[in-house]
Structure 1
Amino acid sequence: MTLTEDQIKQLYIFTQQHYVDWYDVQTELVDHLANGIEAQWQTNPNLSFDAALHLEFKKFGVIGFNDVIEEKTKALNKHYQLLLWRYFKGYFKWPKIVITLFLIYGYFQILVHIPNRFWILLPSTVLLLVIPIWAIYKQAQRIKQIKKDTNKKWLFDNIALQLGGLIHFIQLVIQVGFFNSNDNWSTTFSFIFSVSVVLFALALYIAIFIVSPKLRKDMAKQHPEYKFA
């Protein structure tokens, strides 16, 4: 025995009723539940759909689907971060590595010789803030449009908003710079800060313009319901 289309729809409703809002997670759970129900019917054909569903759901324990959501979130975060790291490493090839070194050297020279570092720290801060905020805004608009067109939410989109966790480091970079902006920076500190700013900006660029678009395309291939925009 196999599940009917109506029963598949009931499984989607069932996952929603149990606090699974993300359609990509719902799809995985529905597939798992459907396989389990059909396996039960092979040994007990007289078992009702509702009874078989109840037995399958009990296998998830007292907290229901929460563990699945948590595991899926961790897996997507890890996948995003690994892809970001792979592209980041791959970026350091000729001639891009020369451009990167030139940017680090130029930023370092400005920090060392400018009378007031505030005038280099301010535009650096603005760029490190504005670019991610712009990217998050565009992604939020995309999510809103997808939700409007398909009436579905995707966990992947929520992960992509975090840019692989890079947004959590923005405040750290800014605080380090401004906390020390009025002190006499050593040459070593200036160099380390220059490397950090340029590499962090590069990581943001890769996350926003390379990794996120690639993952959206992959998502669209795996899930026809997901509209790539």
Structure 2
Amino acid sequence: MKLTDNNIRELYKFTRKHFVEHYDVQTELVDHLANDIEAIWEENPNLSFEKARDKSFKKFGVFGFMNVVEEKHKQVGKRYRKVLWTLFKEWFKLPKLATTLALIFLFYTILRLPSIGTYFYYTILGVYIVYFFVKCRLLIVKHKRKVKETGKNWLLEDIIFKLASSNFLILFSNAFNIFQFGDLFQEMQYAFLVAVFLVMLLLVGYITLVLIPNKADELLEEQYPEYRLV
């Protein structure tokens, strides 16, 4: 006994009802439930679809799909961090290394200028703040529009467009700890460390807020072959 298309649609509704938000996780669970229900029907063909479904669902335990969802978040999060790290390392290899070093030297030189260094630091952070919030807002709006148009919310896509900024935000929050040491910019070692920090902040922001979102479709097709059909 096989499930009908209507049964499959009902299983998708069932997973959403049990707080599975992302389409790829829903699909994995629906596939598992469908196979299990058909196996249950082989043993008891008189069982209704609803009872067979509930019997299969009970096998997930007290927390239902929660453990599966949590594990998928870990897997996809690991995939995202791997992409982020790979793109970040490229800036420390030729030819991009030249740009990274040039930026560090430029920031270091300006920070060492009397009185100008502190204002430069504040100005850079101000530009970062404005760009961060504007870009995050645009990414979230773009993601919501796409989910509405396709009716599908993919986990990796959700991370890229909604959570990617957290990497930049965590690093950015440490910038305020440097405010109180602005008068130390005249010291070579401190000015160099701050210059490196600002460049790292710039790179992480560019990668998470610009580069990875621009590569979203490519990354999603690699992660989910069925994404090409959307």
CA offsets 1:180-226 (integer angstroms, 9 cap, x no match): 22456632222111111102211221223332332333325532565
Distance 1:5 1:162 in 2: 34
Deviates more, 1:93-102 or 1:217-226: 217-226
Tell me the distance in 2 between the aligned counterparts of 1:218 and 1:2.
34
One-letter code of the match for 2:37? I
* Corresponding residue for residue 128 of structure 1: 128
TM-aligned CA deviation for residue 116 of structure 1:
4.2
1:88-118 residue CA offsets vs partner (Å, 9 max, x unmatched): 1123222211121111011111112232433
Q: 1:121 to 1:176 in 2, by over 3 A?
A: same
Q: Distance in 1 between matches of 2:37 and 2:133?
A: 45
**Does the CA contact (< 8 Å) of 1:129 and 1:170 recur in 2?**
no
Gaps spanning 5+ residues in structure 1: where?
Answer: none
- Which stretch shifts more, 198-207 or 174-183? 174-183
Structure 1 segment 16-165 matched on structure 2, within 5 A: 16-160=16-160, 161-163=162-164, 165=166
Verify the 8 A CA contact 1:121 1:177 in the aligned structure 2: no
- In 2, Cα distance between the equivalents of 1:206 and 1:153? 22
The TM-score, its normalising length taken from structure 2, stands at 0.86
Partners of 1:87 and 1:14 lie apart in 2 by 38
CA displacement 1:52-80 (0-9 Å, x = unmatched): 21121111111111222222222222211
Count residues in correspondence.
226
More helix by share: 2
Q: 1:180 aligns to what SS in structure 2?
A: helix
Where 1:46 maps in the other structure, the secondary structure is coil
Change (3 A) 1:23 1:225: farther
TM-score (norm 1): 0.86
**1:201 has 2:205 as partner:** no
